[in-house]
Amino acid sequence: MALRPVEFHILLALAAEERHGYGLLQEVASLTDGELQLEPGTLYRALHRMLKDGWVAESARRPAADQDDERRRYYRLTPAGRRIASAEAERLWRLVSIARAHRLLSRA
């Protein structure tokens, strides 16, 4: 199975709350400290793929009225998506642990 990095970042960004397109772009940038600056096209391609796979879905609920922009589409994580994200996080955690054991990680 192949989970592309872009996808994982999107799943992470949606884990906390539902977001719309531009909000995702901003959140991904902030998660990676500005390193991963996605363009809308790239983001939406990944979103489209994940929509088809059922990891992400459009949200029926809307946030508070004062923050809402009626026309916007919000996206949320599905249970399947949550599972995928967890699995990937687990995998990375295992790798990080090995790295730490071999003293590759500067942090404790």
Q: Nearest distance from residue 54's CB to other proteins, in Å?
A: 4
Tell me whether residue 2 or residue 108 sits nearer to other proteins (CB atom).
2
Tell me whether residue 42 or residue 100 sits nearer to other proteins (CB atom).
42
Q: Alpha helices of the chain — where are they, by DSSP H?
A: 5-16, 21-31, 40-53, 79-101
Compute, in degrees rounded to 10, the torsion defined by CA atoms 103, 105, 107, 108: -40
DSSP 3-state of 76: strand
Q: Nearest distance from residue 108's CB to other proteins, in Å?
A: 25
Structural contact between residues 10 and 28, judged by C-beta atoms closer than 8 angstroms: yes
Contacts with other proteins, residue ranges (CB under 8 A):
1-6, 20-22, 24-25, 39-45, 47-48, 51-55, 71-73, 75, 78, 80, 83-84, 87-88, 90-91
